[in-house]
C-alpha cells in the first residue's frame, strides 16, 4: 500500500474542559486532495477536534503537523493564513451585516490606498453564489435570510478564502437535497484543485457518499479509520454507537380523537407580505398520531409551524386544540393549553445562551413550580433531571452552561423543555437537525412513546428517510399548498419526493392511500 500524502496531521491530541475530556489522545490524518469524513455521536468530540485543527481552540496536549512540519496555531487567523478554513456547525454570521460584508469580514479586498474594494467583493460573491447555484445578492442582510440560505453564505464564506484545507462541520443540516447535490459537485471540483476536505454530517448516507477516508470518534476516542470503500453504513453506525443501529419506526396507535385541527389557514410571507406563505391549509392531527410535514425549503413549513405556536399571525383561518380555537392566545397561553414548538434554529429561537442547561429546560414551565409567589427549586430540579434522562442529554450537570454542550445535546435540551410543559400537541421544525443516528432514533422513539399516551405530533422535515420511517402520515407541502397526503407504508420514497418538487407536483391528495 502506498503511503498517502498527508497534509495535516494531529498527533495524540487531547482536550480537556475542566474535568470533561472532550478528546482523549486522538490521532488524525488528512490526505491531500481527498475528502475525509469524521463520524461520531453527539458529544463525541468532532467539533472540538475541528476547532483545534482550525486554530480556534488549543489542545491541552498533543501536537499538529502541517506538510510534515510541526506547527502550533495561536488563533484562527493564524490557521487561516496557512490556508485552513472552517464552516462552523453553529452559524457564526453577523445578522446585521450584508452577505458581502459577512463573507469578507476580516479579510476585506482592498484597493490601493486601503479602501475596501466593494466592486471586487461583490463580483466575487456573485461568482461564488453562481458556483453554488444560488441567487443570494451580495447586499442582502444576513438577518433577512432563511436558515438554509444563511448556511449557504457560511459555505460561500469558506470558499471565498481560497483555502487549501476546508473543514465542513455539519454544512448541510439546513440544506435541501438539491442544495446538497450542488455542494457535492462543488466538493468534487475543489478536490480536483487539490483542496483537502474534512466533512462532518449526521446525514450518514451523504457523509459516506462523499468520503474517501473515514474516521470514527466514540466517547472522545478515535476508534477506527479506513478507506471509505471498505466500509458500509451499518458498520459505521455500529462503530459510532457501539451496537447495532435501530431505526425509529412509527407505531399504529392513532385514535379517533382530533387534538390539533387547522382550518383554512392562510398566512402571509413575513419577509414579503404581498406573497402568501401558506394558502388555505387544513389538517387534522389525532391523539397518538405522528404526522410528518414534508417539503422543500421555502415550502412554508416554518411559517405554518410558527403560526400554530403563536409567533406569527394568520390572515384567516382557525387553529383548534381539542375543539377550542387558540388563535387569539399568546404564545405563553398556547403553551399552557398544550401546544408547544421546537423551533428550527436552536441558537436563535430555542436557547438562552447565558442560562444553565437546567434553567433552559424549565424555562417554559417555571410557573408550575411556584407556591405562594416563590419558586420551589427542589421539585424543579427533580423535573429537570428527569427530563435530562428522558431525552438523554449528555451533560456533566444540570448546572452546566448550555453553551458547553455539543450541538446535538443542545437540541435535546430544547426538546426536553417542550416536553416538560406537558403538551397535548407538539410541533417540531426539523427536530433532528445536527442530531446523530442513535439520538435521532431515540427522539422519534420518545415522540412515539409520548404519542402512545395521547400526544399529537406534527414535525417538519426535509429528510426523506425520516418522513418514511417515523411518521404515520406524510403531508407533502409545496409552495404553501398540500400537494399530497400519503401513507408512508404504501408509497415509495421517490413518490414522496416527486410530490414535494414544486415543478412536477400536481394535486395528488390521497395518492397511495
Partner 1 sequence: MSNIVSKVKKNPFAGFTFSKLLTEGRAFIALAVIIVVFAYLSPNYLNLSNVIVMTRHVGLNALLAIGMLLVILTAGIDLSVGSTVGLSGVLAGFMLMQGIQVPGTHTVLYPSVWVIVVLCLFAGALVGLLNGILITRFKVAPFITTLGTLYVVRGTALLIAKGETFNDMTGKPELGNTGFNVLGLGKFLGLPTGVWVMIGVALLTAVLLTKTVFGRWLYALGGNERAAELSGVPIKRVKIWVYTLSGVCAAATGLIIASELTAGAPQTGQSYELNAIAAVVIGGAALSGGRGHIRGTLLGAFVIGFLGDGLVIVGVSSFWQMVIQGAVIILAVALDEAQQSSKKKQKLAKAASDK
Ligand X SMILES: Nc1ncnc2c1ncn2[C@@H]1O[C@H](COP(=O)(O)OP(=O)(O)OP(=O)(O)O)[C@@H](O)[C@H]1O
Closest CA to 129 of 146, 111, 154: 154
> Which entry of Mg ion, partner 1, ligand X, none binds 22, CB below 5 to 8 A by partner kind?
ligand X
For partner 1, the closer CB: 288 or 434 = 434
Minimum distance from residue 47 beta carbon to ligand X (Å):
3
> Which entry of ligand X, Mg ion, partner 1, none binds 168, CB below 5 to 8 A by partner kind?
none
For partner 1, the closer CB: 30 or 388 = 388
Extract the C-alpha cell encoding 19. 474535568
Minimum distance from residue 33 beta carbon to ligand X (Å):
25
Asked whether position 343 contacts partner 1 by CB under 8 A, the answer is: yes
Which one among 354, 382, 509, 513 touches partner 1, defined by CB under 8 A?
A: 354
- For residue 16, give the H/E element and its range: strand 6-17
Which one among 96, 330, 493, 504 touches partner 1, defined by CB under 8 A?
A: 330
> Which entry of ligand X, Mg ion, partner 1, none binds 355, CB below 5 to 8 A by partner kind?
partner 1
What is the per-residue DSSP string for 249-297? Answer: -------S-EEEEEEEEEEEETTEEEEEEEEEEEEEEETT-EEEEEE-T
User: What is the CB neighbour count within 10 angstroms for residue 492?
Assistant: 12
Q: Which residues lie across from 268 on neighbouring strands?
A: 276
Which one among 4, 11, 14, 20 touches ligand X, defined by CB under 6 A?
A: 20
- # residues contacting ligand X (CB under 6 A): 21
Asked whether position 396 contacts partner 1 by CB under 8 A, the answer is: yes
Q: Which stretch binds ligand X (CB under 6 A): 178-186, 400-408, 415-423, 488-496?
A: 400-408
Minimum distance from residue 22 beta carbon to ligand X (Å):
3
Burial, 156: exposed, middle or buried (Cβ in 10 Å; 0-12, 13-18, 19+)? buried
The Cα-based distances of 33 to 4, 6, 7, 195, 247 in angstroms read 10, 9, 9, 5, 34
Angle between helices 233-241 and 437-452 (to 10 degrees): 80
Which one among 45, 350, 416, 423 touches partner 1, defined by CB under 8 A?
A: 350
- # residues contacting partner 1 (CB under 8 A): 44
Q: What are phi and psi of 222, to 5 degrees?
A: -80, 110
Please compute, for residue 399, the number of CA atoms within 13 A of its CA located in the half-sphere on the CB side. Answer: 1
User: What is the CB neighbour count within 10 angstroms for residue 417?
Assistant: 23
Q: What part of residues 271-330 is at the interface with Mg ion (CB under 5 A)?
A: none
What does the alpha-carbon distance between residue 228 and residue 233 come to, in Å, rounded to a whole number? 10
CA-only gyration radius of the chain, Å = 23
Asked whether position 311 contacts partner 1 by CB under 8 A, the answer is: yes
Closest CA to 85 of 170, 8, 162: 162
> Sign of torsion, CA 93 43 426 430?
positive
Which one among 112, 192, 374, 494 touches partner 1, defined by CB under 8 A?
A: 374
Site map 31..60 versus ligand X, x via CB under 6 A: ---------x-xxxxxxx------------
Q: Which stretch binds partner 1 (CB under 8 A): 85-93, 160-168, 193-201, 371-379?
A: 371-379
Asked whether position 160 contacts partner 1 by CB under 8 A, the answer is: no
> Which entry of Mg ion, ligand X, partner 1, none binds 348, CB below 5 to 8 A by partner kind?
partner 1
* Helices (runs of H) and strands (runs of E) counted in the chain: 16, 23
H helix intervals, 310-436: 331-337, 357-362, 377-390, 407-420
> Which entry of partner 1, Mg ion, ligand X, none binds 13, CB below 5 to 8 A by partner kind?
none
Closest CA to 428 of 258, 293, 253: 293
Minimum distance from residue 480 beta carbon to Mg ion (Å):
34
Asked whether position 173 contacts Mg ion by CB under 5 A, the answer is: no
Strand order in the sheet with 473-478: 339-342, 425-429, 456-461, 290-295, 473-478, 481-486, 508-509
Q: Which stretch binds partner 1 (CB under 8 A): 186-194, 268-276, 339-347, 500-508?
A: 339-347
Burial, 76: exposed, middle or buried (Cβ in 10 Å; 0-12, 13-18, 19+)? middle
Residue 313's SS3 state is coil
Closest CA to 429 of 367, 327, 350: 350
Q: What part of residues 15-54 is at the interface with partner 1 (CB under 8 A)?
A: 17-21
Site map 63..92 versus ligand X, x via CB under 6 A: --------------------------x---
For partner 1, the closer CB: 209 or 336 = 336
Minimum distance from residue 343 beta carbon to partner 1 (Å):
6
> Which entry of partner 1, ligand X, Mg ion, none binds 417, CB below 5 to 8 A by partner kind?
partner 1
8 Å CB contact between 247 and 234: no
For partner 1, the closer CB: 146 or 336 = 336
Q: CA 184, 186, 189 angle in degrees (round to 5)? A: 115
> Which entry of Mg ion, partner 1, ligand X, none binds 397, CB below 5 to 8 A by partner kind?
partner 1
Q: What are phi and psi of 391, to 5 degrees?
A: -95, 5
Minimum distance from residue 14 beta carbon to partner 1 (Å):
14
For Mg ion, the closer CB: 442 or 495 = 442
Q: What part of residues 234-293 is at the interface with ligand X (CB under 6 A)?
A: none
Residues of this chain that bind ligand X (CB under 6 A): 17, 20, 22, 40, 42-48, 89, 394, 404-409, 434, 436
Residues of this chain that bind partner 1 (CB under 8 A): 17-21, 309, 311, 330-336, 340-341, 343, 348-356, 359, 362-364, 366-367, 370, 373-375, 396-397, 399-401, 404, 417, 421
Residues of this chain that bind Mg ion (CB under 5 A): 47, 89, 407
Amino acid at each position: 500500500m502506498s503511503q498517502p500524502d498527508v497534509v495535516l496531521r494531529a498527533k495524540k491530541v487531547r482536550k480537556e474542559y475542566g474535568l470533561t475530556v472532550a478528546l482523549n489522545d486522538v490521532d488524525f490524518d488528512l490526505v491531500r486532495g481527498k475528502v475525509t469524513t469524521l463520524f461520531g455521536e453527539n458529544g463525541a468530540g468532532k467539533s472540538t477536534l475541528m476547532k483545534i485543527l482550525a486554530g480556534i481552540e488549543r489542545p491541552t496536549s498533543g501536537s499538529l503537523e502541517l506538510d510534515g512540519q510541526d506547527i502550533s496555531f495561536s488563533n484562527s487567523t493564524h490557521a487561516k493564513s496557512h490556508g485552513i478554513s472552517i464552516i462552523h456547525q453553529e452559524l457564526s454570521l453577523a445578522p446585521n451585516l450584508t452577505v458581502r460584508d459577512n463573507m469578507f469580514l476580516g479579510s476585506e479586498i482592498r484597493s490601493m490606498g486601503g479602501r475596501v474594494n466593494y466592486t471586487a467583493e461583490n463580483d466575487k460573491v456573485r461568482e461564488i453564489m453562481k458556483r453554488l447555484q444560488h441567487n443570494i445578492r451580495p447586499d442582502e442582510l444576513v438577518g433577512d435570510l432563511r436558515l438554509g440560505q444563511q448556511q449557504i453564505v457560511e459555505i460561500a464564506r469558506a470558499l471565498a478564502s481560497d483555502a487549501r484545507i476546508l473543514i465542513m462541520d455539519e454544512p448541510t443540516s439546513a440544506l435541501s437535497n438539491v442544495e446538497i447535490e450542488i455542494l457535492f459537485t462543488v466538493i468534487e471540483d475543489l478536490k480536483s484543485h487539490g483542496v483537502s476536505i474534512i466533512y462532518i454530517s449526521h446525514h450518514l448516507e451523504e457523509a459516506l457518499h462523499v468520503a474517501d477516508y473515514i474516521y470514527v470518534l466514540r466517547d472522545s476516542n478515535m476508534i477506527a479509520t479506513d478507506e471509505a470503500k471498505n466500509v458500509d453504513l451499518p458498520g459505521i453506525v455500529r462503530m459510532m454507537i457501539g451496537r447495532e443501529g435501530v431505526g425509529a419506526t412509527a407505531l399504529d396507535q392513532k385514535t379517533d380523537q382530533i387534538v390539533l385541527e387547522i382550518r383554512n389557514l392562510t398566512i402571509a410571507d413575513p419577509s414579503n407580505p404581498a406573497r402568501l406563505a401558506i394558502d388555505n391549509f387544513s389538517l387534522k392531527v389525532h391523539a397518538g398520531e405522528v404526522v410528518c410535514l414534508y417539503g422543500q425549503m421555502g415550502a412554508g413549513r416554518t411559517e405554518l409551524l410558527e403560526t400554530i405556536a403563536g409567533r406569527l399571525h394568520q390572515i384567516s383561518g382557525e387553529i383548534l386544540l381539542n375543539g377550542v380555537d387558540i388563535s387569539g392566545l399568546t404564545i405563553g397561553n398556547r403553551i399552557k393549553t398544550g401546544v408547544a414548538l421546537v423551533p428550527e434554529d436552536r441558537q436563535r429561537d430555542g436557547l438562552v445562551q447565558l442560562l444553565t442547561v437546567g434553567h433552559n429546560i424549565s424555562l417554559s414551565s417555571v410557573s408550575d413550580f411556584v407556591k405562594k409567589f416563590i419558586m420551589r427549586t427542589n421539585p424543579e430540579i427533580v423535573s429537570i433531571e428527569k427530563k435530562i434522562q428522558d431525552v438523554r442529554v449528555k451533560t456533566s450537570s444540570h448546572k452546566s452552561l448550555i453553551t458547553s454542550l455539543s450541538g446535538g445535546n443542545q437540541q435535546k435540551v430544547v426538546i426536553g423543555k417542550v416536553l416538560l410543559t406537558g403538551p397535548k400537541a407538539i410541533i417540531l421544525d426539523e427536530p433532528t437537525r445536527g442530531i446523530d443516528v442513535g439520538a435521532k432514533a431515540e427522539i422519534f422513539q420518545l415522540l412515539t412513546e409520548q404519542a402512545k399516551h395521547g400526544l399529537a405530533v406534527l414535525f417538519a422535515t426535509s429528510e426523506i428517510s425520516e418522513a418514511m420511517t417515523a411518521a404515520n402520515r406524510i403531508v407533502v407541502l409545496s409552495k404553501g399548498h398540500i400537494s399530497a397526503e400519503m401513507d408512508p407504508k404504501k408509497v415509495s420514497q421517490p413518490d414522496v419526493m416527486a410530490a414535494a418538487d414544486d415543478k412536477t407536483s400536481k394535486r395528488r391528495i390521497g395518492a397511495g392511500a
